[in-house]
Chain A
Amino acid sequence: MKGIFKNPLRRWFWLFLGPVTAAFAIGFVWPFFQGIYLSFCKFKLIRNAKFIGLDNYAAALKDPTFMHAFWYTALFALVSLLFINILGFAAAYVLTQGVKGSNLYRTVFFMPNLIGGIVLGYIWSMIFDGILSRYGTSILMETKYGFWGLIILMCWQQIGYMMIIYIAGLQSVPEDMLEAAKIDGASKWQTLFRVTIPNVMPSITICTFLSLTNGFKLFDQNLALTGGLPFIIQPDGSNIKTTEMLALNIYNTFYNSNSASKGVAQAKAVLFFILVAGIGLAQLAYTRKREVQQ
């Protein structure tokens, strides 16, 4: 006990940890739990929230737009996961083969990551419409354009980031293993699939986790690129926003002018959290098993 106070670092640790812990508690922990509580309430302002039990969850699960957004988001997350990781890995592989100017390429590929999502969305909507307007259409006119447009945008933004992680992985593959494979007469493909990939599994775990959760959580780019357009106008006058993803669906629900909708949006947000956390953890557990210990 006395030892703790003798060491000045230990004596003053609370001074250094305190502010961060307080900020974390105020900025994250408290709102998180309050958010969960609010999902069981009917409210306009937080200060006059009224507890109503599970009604919000029932309404959220009955909402066809939420279900549509879920499936659309799941499809998007899966497709973007494949594209981003395959292309990111390919870029990393090429750039670790001693290509001339590979440092420059790495920097250039990484740069799109530094631009914010909203700005990216607007820039790409101009690029896509510049092309599509030649054919008398627009990215806002067809669901498939909106879907692939968003995939292209996300690939452009994320490939560079994943590439950096893969490069780090590839550089840590032991030289002696590669040399042994070469001496044993393994072809380039055999070396890639039997030696290199098993050794970069930790990078693959991280990258698939990041791109999967990013895909599910996507908001800014979705809002700026299509904002959910086009809608399918149902015969009864209701509509389905065909390119609306989960996060945007929650946002639109929250700012609906029905007084009950804020609670429903909150319930959707809690379901969303459980979903993203669950999928992320499941995926981590799955790929971890495939990592080799060196």
Chain B
Amino acid sequence: MKKIIALALTLVMVFALAAAGGTAYADSEGSVYWLNFKPELDEAAQGLAKLYTEKTGVPVKVVTAASGTYSQTLTSEMDKSSAPTLFIIGNQAGVKEWGEFAMDLTDTPIANELSTDAYNLYDEDGRLVSIGYCYECYGIIVNPDLIEAAGHSMDELENFEGLKAVAEDIHARADELGFDAFSSSDMDGSSSWRFTGHMANLEYFYEERDAGGWTECPAELSGAYMENFKNLYDLCINNSLTDPKDLATGGHDAENEFKTGKAAFFVNGSWEYAAVSKDVPNATMIPYYCGVEGEEKAGLNCGTENCWAINDMASDADKKATMDFMVWLVSDPEAAGIMVEQLGILPYKNAPESENGFLTDAADYIADGCYVMDWATNYQPNVDEYRAALVSALNAYNADQSDANWEQVKTAFVDGWAVQYQAANG
């Protein structure tokens, strides 16, 4: 009897080990494995996957990488026998790293659904490796009610001089007004990208515009617009709720400062609309005014890192299933409705309109004939390393705004680009 029990227990153990090893799918019909990169989309994505499976019977698995660990997760997942069929290639560095594993999407059903080519990414051979599934915009979020409470008007905010005058006035009278100009600009991992990734874009964008547009990552920058970056950055840290010396470790909740009316300006993007508009229904977004000539005609920074790629190593059945799923996401009224609600505007012909106020602002600027500041920041070479060095230099500058420390920021910003370009391409 004991022997039989022992044998049974061992068999259970062996089966448990084997079962943990791999999940099997019925492969004949094809299945979808979507490695999602936006944690805030996870819940909706899981729901969409379930809905699609209910409707079509095609299994869809959605895995979301933890914030800031997409490349790590993708690296390990791509090596598995059941690798993601649908993943994200969001910028030129991503094209360089993962482009060879992506299927050419030219003239595929999903490409034919697109309403614009503006958010697609191509590799050096002109293959369409990834395709934008939503776009976003960033700039400076403003609470117009507070601007007016301070005795100013939104019309004053149409260039850097105007923005500076208003921000400095509010900061000077912060105690009397009960609110300050800018919310905190923390340099910790949860917030530094707003400056090293987004605000830095104004420098890249104007350089790119002078060069007549970039089609690939330039080997070096000239730094011609560093003064403009400094203008806006200084304004932001020196007219804020938080002493610049306290920004290094973070711990200030900038979103909350804006929502609770403690600050009139908040450097961030369109994805904040849902969170912010509940408390500040009139919130609107203005461009990065930084003292560049003709900036009265500037618009918001529009672009995306949300680009889908199909894994070329997947079986044909899986590729087809994935393609069908993508088309369903952007064209089915129910699915596309959920996508728009979560992501803002989808650049697809059959997708519903968005109610995101900041994206409406972006469209209004375009309608007024303003130029779009595209996301040149997506070209940042070896992006994590590049931004980490910039954070280090900005930390030193925040603590002591000396010329020597600004030189370090410039070195990290301009020469650091060339170094990281070499590291990534050399």
Show the binding face of A for B, using Cβ within 8 Å.
12, 15, 19, 22-23, 44-47, 125-126, 129, 133, 136-141, 227-231, 233-239, 241, 252, 255-259, 261
CB neighbours (8 Å) of A45 from chain B are: 75, 78-79, 101
Cα distance A186–B232 when bound, in Å? Answer: 74
CB neighbours (8 Å) of B251 from chain A are: 126, 129
B103 beta carbon closer than 8 Å to chain A: no
- Are B246 and A255 within 8 A (Cβ)? no
Cα distance A259–B97 when bound, in Å? Answer: 7
A24 to chain B, nearest CB (A): 13
B116 beta carbon closer than 8 Å to chain A: no
Nearest chain A residue, comparing its CB with the CB of B415: A237
Could you write out 22 A-B pairs with CB less than 8 Å apart? Answer: A19-B10, A46-B79, A47-B79, A129-B249, A138-B249, A141-B396, A229-B388, A230-B395, A230-B396, A231-B388, A231-B389, A233-B392, A236-B419, A238-B416, A239-B392, A252-B385, A256-B423, A257-B71, A258-B382, A258-B424, A258-B425, A258-B426
Cα distance A227–B382 when bound, in Å? Answer: 17
CB neighbours (8 Å) of B426 from chain A are: 258
CB neighbours (8 Å) of B382 from chain A are: 256-258
Nearest chain B residue, comparing its CB with the CB of A231: B392
Interface string of B1-28 (1 = CB under 8 A from A): 0000010001001100100000000000
Give the bracket for the number of chain B residues in contact with chain A. 35 or more
A250 to chain B, nearest CB (A): 13
CB neighbours (8 Å) of A231 from chain B are: 388-389, 392-393, 412
Show the binding face of B for A, using Cβ within 8 Å.
6, 10, 13-14, 17, 71-72, 75, 78-79, 93, 96-97, 101, 189, 245-246, 248-249, 251, 381-385, 388-389, 391-393, 395-396, 399, 408, 411-412, 414-419, 423-426
Q: A237-B412, A237-B416, A238-B419 are in contact. Are A229 and B392 (CB under 8 A)?
A: yes
Given contacts A129-B248, A138-B395, A256-B382, 6 further A-B contacts (CB under 8 A): A125-B249, A141-B395, A233-B408, A241-B388, A255-B384, A259-B96
CB neighbours (8 Å) of A238 from chain B are: 416, 419
B246 to chain A, nearest CB (A): 6
Cα distance A138–B246 when bound, in Å? Answer: 8
- Are A237 and B17 within 8 A (Cβ)? no
Main secondary structure of the interface of A (DSSP, over half): loop
B283 to chain A, nearest CB (A): 31
A138 to chain B, nearest CB (A): 4
CB neighbours (8 Å) of B189 from chain A are: 227
- Are A136 and B399 within 8 A (Cβ)? yes
Cα distance A37–B395 when bound, in Å? Answer: 41
CB neighbours (8 Å) of A137 from chain B are: 245, 399
- Are B249 and A233 within 8 A (Cβ)? no
Cα distance A259–B71 when bound, in Å? Answer: 13
CB < 8 Å: which of A23, A235, A255 contacts B71? A255
Cα distance A125–B426 when bound, in Å? Answer: 36
- Are A257 and B416 within 8 A (Cβ)? no
Cα distance A19–B251 when bound, in Å? Answer: 47
A145 to chain B, nearest CB (A): 11
B258 to chain A, nearest CB (A): 23
Cα distance A137–B383 when bound, in Å? Answer: 27
Nearest chain A residue, comparing its CB with the CB of B188: A140
CB < 8 Å: which of B249, B383, B418 contacts A237? B418
B25 to chain A, nearest CB (A): 20
CB neighbours (8 Å) of B383 from chain A are: 257
The 7 closest A-B CB pairs, nearest first, are A237-B415, A231-B392, A138-B248, A237-B419, A237-B416, A136-B245, A129-B249
CB neighbours (8 Å) of B96 from chain A are: 257, 259
- Are B385 and A256 within 8 A (Cβ)? yes
A149 to chain B, nearest CB (A): 12
Cα distance A252–B396 when bound, in Å? Answer: 22
